A and B are shown apart, each in its own frame.
Chain A
Amino acid sequence: MSTANSRIDRRFAALKAEGRAGLVAFITAGDPDHDTCLDLLKGLPGAGADLIELGMPFTDPMADGPAIQASTLRALATGARMTRTLDLVKAFREGDADTPIILMGYYNPVYAYGVDRFLADAKTAGVDGLIVVDLPPEEDGELCLPAQAAGVNFIRLATPTTDKARLPAVLANTSGFIYYVSIAGITGAGSATSDAIAAAVAHLRTGTDLPVAVGFGITTPDGAAAVARVADAAVVGSAIVRRLEANLDTEGKAKPGLLPDVLGFVAELAAGVRGARK
């Protein structure tokens, strides 16, 4: 099996044909609970998300800021686990054959599940790609190469510390797209200037023809639009998760109105992205 002409490739090709960048929306699987999360997931494409990143909950999210840490713990507290995450994808796929889903998280829950079994089950469920924060190119044998062989894209992170010498290593064995982490830091903290992002994207394009998505620190429709002018997609995570959190009661349960409010915010972000190059 190969990853050629994957759902991710097709989506980026369609975006290119439309002459616009895409919006990648992140939510955590099972946050704030399984059923609410599934409704949210199903609503994202209609709100304008072109690709979806679904966080695999982990107790120790070392690269994440407070918003996503809290989100992952909420999910775990309401029974999230890997099998349930895959159930969400399966249920989503029944109604949507086109929107790519990328699972994002840390290696240990995948390792505990078993790499081969995980890839088989993820593929069956309709997962298109993986972003695993703590698997740099030095550990490609763990999951990256088996994933590509199983027909699942493995999307690598490039960062401000990825210099010229290191870029080829980061680009090798990656597929689907490149995720440029625009700040040295954790999710949801600070943001890079448009100029810095433009320069970094140009630098990445010297080494690859893959689409470049930019994330970390994008919180508003304007911020998403600025990224959409220079990159192939803008990724928004913490801001969406914080919007969700604002719709929880004191016990962490979803308040009525959560769904339209969060999806409304995603629609604003999407409008920013879609209008960026006009």
Chain B
Amino acid sequence: MSLNTYRAGPDEHGHFGIYGGRFVAETLMPLILDLEKAYTAAKDDPAFKAEMGYYLNQYVGRPSKLYFAERLTNELGGAKIYLKREELNHTGAHKINNCIGQILLAKRMGKTRIIAETGAGQHGVATATVCALFGLPCTIYMGEVDIARQQPNVFRMKLLGAEVKPVTSGSRTLKDAMNEALRDWVTNVGDTFYIIGTTAGPHPYPALVRDFQSIIGHEVREQMVAMEGRLPDTLVACIGGGSNALGLFHPFLDDAEVAMVAVEAAGHGIETGAHAASLTGGRPGVLHGNRTYLLQDGDGQILEGHSISAGLDYPGIGPEHSWLHDVGRVTYVSATDKEALDAFQRLSKVEGIIPALESSHALAEVIRRAPTLPKDHLMVVNLSGRGDKDIFTVARELGVSL
């Protein structure tokens, strides 16, 4: 297929090729149609843009820096590596970009109650934060397994005034938290706004979250041109649902000279079956409102993902990624738990920056790829979150008791 642009999607039905769509219960259909209408109006409203700009700048601390990682570059001896410092955002990850956008939308729509799902807790913390900022009550659904491995974020959410509801059904991780949030939404249709944390779910969420996260790529474009006088050669990001990757990639999709690599979580290894790599190890199916690549058995039953990183531990992926995968615009690879752990420690020691385990998957690919490239090759990796929340997990993996 030859395309004039990779940035036109989705179509009016929310489709990216065969992916995306609106696979939701009838009860929710009027709500997502309302949301689509409200978002279309807000997107082109200068007042909405100005308000978003204000909070992103004054509250989140944007623009985030594009930092030349000189020591890591020298150690790897190849490509020139830049870190997009999303971990410096307020709340410590890229998730807040989307939450600011969605809460302003919720306010515009007159909604008075917020719900969200969370895996690693980063999106939950970001949602709880914007709810505190705007004085709205908020309920966060989180799988019991994730609650156990992300205690610091659970406590953070509670400090911020959110109610954290443990999800005990199914595999008790992110996918089940999303099921439970959908059950809440279908029950509280009048007053509740569902802030989805990634570029997935029914249309218009995948497009809306992508748009709110695209500020990452827009900034990188300006920053790189200012620093190097040209566009980057390769962009690298980790991918669970795919919001930090799409936020970085989307503004560059039509720049043919920019290569893009997204890194899925290979867990214990793709061949073991214990992974969360939907594109590498799954096939197309329908879950949580959209058609996309899913980890599933032959009967269409959803399989549990595995990753050391709770934020990547999801059996699906955003529909636009499925499409970008099929058309070949983005290269999708994977990194194991162990590779991510190594990268986690390496960046900490070499650059004095502790990355999130999620972002460590992207760094693992940088460590593999950079040495094979010439010194004038400009590589940007999205440092989507900071690793403070992961120190307990990492300590346990390394056999250290805190």
Contact = CB atoms under 8 A, between A and B. Distances in A.
A243 interface: no
A186 B187 CA distance: 7
Centre residue among B24, B31, B175 by max chain A CB count within 10 A: B24
B29 A185 contact: no
Interface in B260-304: 285-289, 294, 296, 298-302
Contact of B287 (A60, A63, A110, A135): A60
Centre residue among B13, B25, B26, B182 by max chain A CB count within 10 A: B26
A161 interface: yes
B296 A112 contact: yes
B300 A134 contact: no
Contacts of B186: 63, 184-186
B26 A62 contact: no
A63 B170 CA distance: 14
Contact of A139 (B22, B301, B302): B22
Interface in B130-173: 169-170
Centre residue among A58, A110, A159 by max chain B CB count within 10 A: A159
A186 B28 CA distance: 12
Interface residues of B, number: 35
A136 B301 contact: no
Interface in B288-329: 288-289, 294, 296, 298-302
B385 interface: no
Contact of B26 (A57, A157, A186): A157
B183 A170 contact: no
A170 B27 CA distance: 11
Centre residue among A59, A109, A161, A185 by max chain B CB count within 10 A: A59
Interface in B74-131: none
A142 to B, nearest CB: 8
Given A134-B286, A134-B289, A60 B26 contact: no
Interface in A53-105: 57-63, 65-66, 69, 73, 76, 81-82
A250 B31 CA distance: 41
Contacts of B387: none
Given A60-B170, A62-B182, A158 B26 contact: yes
B26 A76 contact: no
B11 to A, nearest CB: 12
Contacts of A73: 170
Contacts of A108: 285-287, 294, 296, 300, 302
B30 interface: yes
Contacts of A106: 286
B197 interface: no
A189 B187 contact: yes
Nearest to B29: A136
Contact of A159 (B27, B170, B288, B299): B27
A72 to B, nearest CB: 10
Tell me what chain A mostly uses at the interface: helix, strand, loop, or mixed: loop
Given A62-B288, A63-B186, A138 B22 contact: yes
Contacts of A166: 29-30
A103 to B, nearest CB: 14
A160 interface: yes
A58 B27 contact: no
A210 interface: no
B179 interface: yes
B300 A110 contact: yes
A136 B24 contact: yes
Contacts of B300: 58, 82, 108-113
Contacts of B301: 57-59, 76, 81, 109
A181 interface: yes
Centre residue among A134, A137, A159, A162 by max chain B CB count within 10 A: A134
B392 interface: no
Given A111-B300, A112-B300, A186-B187, A59 B170 contact: yes
B395 interface: no
A204 B183 CA distance: 25
Contacts of A186: 183, 186-187
Contacts of A139: 21-23
A15 interface: no
B373 interface: no
B189 A184 contact: yes
Nearest to A57: B301
A274 interface: no
A111 B19 CA distance: 13
Contact of B23 (A57, A107, A113, A163): A107
Contacts of B170: 59-60, 73
B307 to A, nearest CB: 19
Interface in B1-51: 13, 21-31
Contacts of B175: 60
A20 interface: no
B22 A184 contact: no
Given A60-B176, A81-B301, A163-B30, 6 more contacts: A60-B287, A113-B300, A138-B21, A138-B29, A160-B27, A161-B27
21 contacts: A58-B301, A62-B179, A63-B25, A66-B169, A69-B169, A81-B299, A106-B286, A108-B287, A111-B285, A112-B298, A136-B24, A138-B21, A139-B22, A139-B23, A157-B25, A159-B27, A161-B26, A162-B30, A166-B29, A166-B30, A185-B27
Interface of B: 13, 21-31, 169-170, 175-176, 179, 182-183, 186-189, 285-289, 294, 296, 298-302
Query: 10 tightest A-B contacts by CB?
Result: A112-B300, A109-B300, A185-B187, A81-B299, A159-B27, A108-B300, A134-B23, A59-B302, A157-B26, A59-B301
